[in-house]
Chains A and B, each alone.
Chain A
Protein backbone atom coordinates (compact mmCIF):
# COMPACT_ATOMS: atom_id res chain seq x y z
CA UNK A 1 0.00 0.00 0.00
CA UNK A 2 1.11 3.53 -0.76
CA UNK A 3 2.01 5.50 2.31
CA UNK A 4 2.04 9.27 2.32
CA UNK A 5 3.23 10.70 5.60
CA UNK A 6 2.81 14.28 6.73
CA UNK A 7 5.11 15.30 9.53
CA UNK A 8 2.52 16.93 11.79
CA UNK A 9 -1.15 16.31 12.39
CA UNK A 10 -1.70 19.58 14.24
CA UNK A 11 0.44 22.69 14.18
CA UNK A 12 0.06 26.06 15.89
CA UNK A 13 2.24 28.94 14.70
CA UNK A 14 2.40 32.67 15.24
CA UNK A 15 1.84 35.33 12.61
CA UNK A 16 5.05 36.09 10.74
CA UNK A 17 6.74 32.76 11.47
CA UNK A 18 8.26 30.69 8.69
CA UNK A 19 6.45 27.35 8.59
CA UNK A 20 7.56 24.11 7.01
CA UNK A 21 5.11 21.32 6.23
CA UNK A 22 6.82 18.11 5.25
CA UNK A 23 5.47 15.24 3.20
CA UNK A 24 7.10 11.92 2.34
CA UNK A 25 5.82 9.13 0.09
CA UNK A 26 7.24 5.65 -0.18
CA UNK A 27 6.04 4.50 -3.61
CA UNK A 28 8.41 6.25 -6.01
CA UNK A 29 5.65 8.46 -7.39
CA UNK A 30 6.67 11.14 -9.84
CA UNK A 31 3.90 13.54 -8.93
CA UNK A 32 3.34 15.20 -5.60
CA UNK A 33 0.75 17.80 -4.64
CA UNK A 34 -0.13 20.21 -1.87
CA UNK A 35 -3.77 21.12 -1.35
CA UNK A 36 -5.52 23.39 1.06
CA UNK A 37 -9.01 22.49 2.27
CA UNK A 38 -11.43 25.00 3.75
CA UNK A 39 -15.12 24.51 4.57
CA UNK A 40 -17.33 25.23 1.58
CA UNK A 41 -14.37 25.72 -0.76
CA UNK A 42 -13.36 22.12 -1.29
CA UNK A 43 -9.76 21.27 -2.15
CA UNK A 44 -7.65 23.96 -3.75
CA UNK A 45 -4.31 23.18 -5.33
CA UNK A 46 -1.40 25.22 -4.02
CA UNK A 47 1.55 23.67 -5.88
CA UNK A 48 2.43 20.43 -7.52
CA UNK A 49 5.66 18.80 -8.64
CA UNK A 50 6.05 16.31 -11.47
CA UNK A 51 9.73 15.58 -10.89
CA UNK A 52 12.61 16.39 -8.58
CA UNK A 53 13.31 20.13 -8.51
CA UNK A 54 10.32 20.74 -10.79
CA UNK A 55 7.26 22.59 -9.59
CA UNK A 56 4.18 24.25 -10.97
CA UNK A 57 1.83 26.74 -9.40
CA UNK A 58 -1.67 25.65 -8.67
CA UNK A 59 -4.72 27.80 -8.09
CA UNK A 60 -3.59 29.58 -4.91
CA UNK A 61 0.23 29.78 -4.75
CA UNK A 62 0.42 33.24 -3.19
CA UNK A 63 2.15 33.20 0.19
CA UNK A 64 3.53 29.69 -0.34
CA UNK A 65 6.62 28.10 -1.83
CA UNK A 66 7.68 24.49 -2.23
CA UNK A 67 10.81 22.40 -2.36
CA UNK A 68 11.43 19.00 -3.87
CA UNK A 69 15.07 18.04 -3.55
CA UNK A 70 14.40 14.29 -3.42
CA UNK A 71 11.75 12.30 -5.23
CA UNK A 72 10.07 11.07 -2.05
CA UNK A 73 9.85 14.40 -0.23
CA UNK A 74 7.79 17.48 -1.01
CA UNK A 75 7.85 20.41 1.39
CA UNK A 76 5.42 23.30 1.62
CA UNK A 77 6.79 26.54 3.02
CA UNK A 78 4.83 29.45 4.38
CA UNK A 79 7.37 32.26 4.18
CA UNK A 80 5.58 34.49 6.69
CA UNK A 81 2.51 32.86 8.15
CA UNK A 82 -0.71 34.85 8.29
CA UNK A 83 -4.01 34.14 10.00
CA UNK A 84 -5.73 33.60 6.64
CA UNK A 85 -3.46 30.59 6.12
CA UNK A 86 -5.16 28.77 8.99
CA UNK A 87 -6.46 25.68 7.24
CA UNK A 88 -6.20 21.94 6.66
CA UNK A 89 -3.26 21.10 4.39
CA UNK A 90 -3.28 17.86 2.45
CA UNK A 91 -0.31 16.32 0.69
CA UNK A 92 -0.81 13.71 -2.02
CA UNK A 93 1.17 11.73 -4.55
CA UNK A 94 0.46 9.79 -7.71
CA UNK A 95 2.01 8.08 -10.67
CA UNK A 96 1.76 9.82 -14.01
CA UNK A 97 -1.13 9.03 -16.31
CA UNK A 98 -4.79 9.95 -16.18
CA UNK A 99 -5.72 6.59 -14.71
CA UNK A 100 -3.57 6.90 -11.60
CA UNK A 101 -5.34 8.01 -8.42
CA UNK A 102 -4.09 10.43 -5.83
CA UNK A 103 -2.93 8.97 -2.53
CA UNK A 104 -3.30 11.35 0.38
CA UNK A 105 -1.57 11.85 3.68
CA UNK A 106 -3.61 12.32 6.85
CA UNK A 107 -3.44 16.09 6.65
CA UNK A 108 -1.97 18.84 8.80
CA UNK A 109 -4.35 21.18 10.57
CA UNK A 110 -2.47 24.46 10.82
CA UNK A 111 -3.59 27.28 13.08
CA UNK A 112 -1.89 30.66 12.78
CA UNK A 113 -2.51 32.97 15.73
Chain B
Protein backbone atom coordinates (compact mmCIF):
# COMPACT_ATOMS: atom_id res chain seq x y z
CA UNK B 1 0.00 0.00 0.00
CA UNK B 2 1.11 3.55 -0.70
CA UNK B 3 2.40 5.32 2.37
CA UNK B 4 1.61 8.78 0.96
CA UNK B 5 -1.15 9.55 -1.52
CA UNK B 6 -1.61 12.81 -3.36
CA UNK B 7 -4.66 12.52 -5.57
CA UNK B 8 -4.43 15.84 -7.39
CA UNK B 9 -1.89 15.70 -10.23
CA UNK B 10 -2.61 19.31 -11.16
CA UNK B 11 -4.39 22.27 -9.59
CA UNK B 12 -5.16 25.80 -10.69
CA UNK B 13 -5.84 28.76 -8.42
CA UNK B 14 -6.52 32.42 -9.02
CA UNK B 15 -3.95 34.82 -7.67
CA UNK B 16 -4.81 36.01 -4.12
CA UNK B 17 -7.14 33.08 -3.55
CA UNK B 18 -6.52 30.22 -1.09
CA UNK B 19 -5.86 26.67 -2.26
CA UNK B 20 -5.78 23.28 -0.52
CA UNK B 21 -3.49 20.49 -1.66
CA UNK B 22 -4.55 17.06 -0.45
CA UNK B 23 -2.39 14.44 1.21
CA UNK B 24 -3.37 11.22 2.92
CA UNK B 25 -0.97 8.85 4.63
CA UNK B 26 -0.83 5.33 5.90
CA UNK B 27 1.14 4.23 8.95
CA UNK B 28 0.78 2.07 12.01
CA UNK B 29 3.56 3.86 13.89
CA UNK B 30 2.35 5.85 16.91
CA UNK B 31 4.86 8.62 16.18
CA UNK B 32 5.54 10.15 12.82
CA UNK B 33 6.24 13.44 11.13
CA UNK B 34 4.57 14.93 8.08
CA UNK B 35 6.35 17.35 5.78
CA UNK B 36 5.53 19.45 2.74
CA UNK B 37 8.07 20.48 0.12
CA UNK B 38 7.88 22.89 -2.80
CA UNK B 39 9.78 22.28 -6.02
CA UNK B 40 9.84 25.23 -8.45
CA UNK B 41 10.76 24.72 -12.08
CA UNK B 42 14.40 25.37 -11.18
CA UNK B 43 14.41 21.98 -9.45
CA UNK B 44 15.44 22.60 -5.86
CA UNK B 45 13.30 21.06 -3.12
CA UNK B 46 12.30 23.59 -0.48
CA UNK B 47 11.06 22.50 2.93
CA UNK B 48 7.83 24.35 3.78
CA UNK B 49 6.18 23.01 6.90
CA UNK B 50 6.21 20.19 9.45
CA UNK B 51 3.47 18.55 11.53
CA UNK B 52 4.19 16.01 14.25
CA UNK B 53 1.74 13.22 15.01
CA UNK B 54 1.34 14.39 18.60
CA UNK B 55 0.97 18.07 17.81
CA UNK B 56 -2.37 19.30 19.06
CA UNK B 57 -2.47 22.36 16.86
CA UNK B 58 -2.19 22.65 13.12
CA UNK B 59 1.21 23.88 11.99
CA UNK B 60 1.51 27.28 10.35
CA UNK B 61 4.40 28.99 8.57
CA UNK B 62 3.51 32.34 7.10
CA UNK B 63 1.00 31.76 4.28
CA UNK B 64 1.29 28.00 4.67
CA UNK B 65 -0.80 26.00 7.09
CA UNK B 66 -1.35 22.32 7.51
CA UNK B 67 -4.86 20.98 8.05
CA UNK B 68 -4.04 17.89 10.12
CA UNK B 69 -6.85 15.38 10.66
CA UNK B 70 -5.28 12.46 12.46
CA UNK B 71 -8.32 10.19 12.53
CA UNK B 72 -8.69 10.57 8.77
CA UNK B 73 -4.93 10.30 8.24
CA UNK B 74 -4.86 13.44 6.19
CA UNK B 75 -2.40 16.33 6.17
CA UNK B 76 -3.57 18.86 3.65
CA UNK B 77 -1.49 21.93 2.81
CA UNK B 78 -3.35 25.23 2.67
CA UNK B 79 -1.76 28.15 0.88
CA UNK B 80 -3.48 31.45 1.55
CA UNK B 81 -3.38 34.51 -0.72
CA UNK B 82 -1.72 32.67 -3.60
CA UNK B 83 1.08 34.42 -5.47
CA UNK B 84 2.47 33.79 -8.93
CA UNK B 85 5.65 32.51 -7.30
CA UNK B 86 3.67 29.72 -5.67
CA UNK B 87 3.44 27.95 -9.04
CA UNK B 88 5.44 24.76 -8.48
CA UNK B 89 5.25 21.07 -7.68
CA UNK B 90 4.31 20.29 -4.09
CA UNK B 91 5.25 17.07 -2.37
CA UNK B 92 3.89 15.59 0.84
CA UNK B 93 6.22 13.31 2.82
CA UNK B 94 6.19 11.25 5.99
CA UNK B 95 8.85 9.93 8.32
CA UNK B 96 8.05 7.22 10.86
CA UNK B 97 9.62 6.77 14.27
CA UNK B 98 10.49 3.19 13.34
CA UNK B 99 12.86 4.07 10.50
CA UNK B 100 15.06 6.64 8.81
CA UNK B 101 13.31 6.67 5.47
CA UNK B 102 11.09 9.39 4.12
CA UNK B 103 8.06 8.43 2.05
CA UNK B 104 6.99 10.84 -0.67
CA UNK B 105 3.80 11.28 -2.63
CA UNK B 106 3.83 11.73 -6.39
CA UNK B 107 3.26 15.44 -6.09
CA UNK B 108 0.71 18.07 -7.13
CA UNK B 109 1.50 20.66 -9.78
CA UNK B 110 0.05 24.02 -8.75
CA UNK B 111 -0.44 26.81 -11.26
CA UNK B 112 -1.38 30.27 -10.06
CA UNK B 113 -3.34 32.25 -12.64
CA UNK B 114 -2.99 36.04 -12.71
Contacts and interface: CB of A to CB of B under 8 A. Distances in A.
A52 to B, nearest CB: 15
Q: What is the size category of the interface that chain B forms with chain A?
A: 20 to 34
A33 B45 CA distance: 14
A99 B33 contact: yes
A107 B47 contact: no
A90 B105 CA distance: 16
B52 A48 contact: no
Given A42-B107, A104-B45, A50 B100 contact: yes
Given A56-B100, A101-B33, A107-B45, 17 more contacts: A42-B91, A43-B104, A45-B101, A48-B100, A50-B100, A98-B29, A98-B96, A99-B33, A99-B50, A99-B52, A101-B47, A102-B45, A102-B102, A104-B44, A105-B44, A106-B44, A107-B44
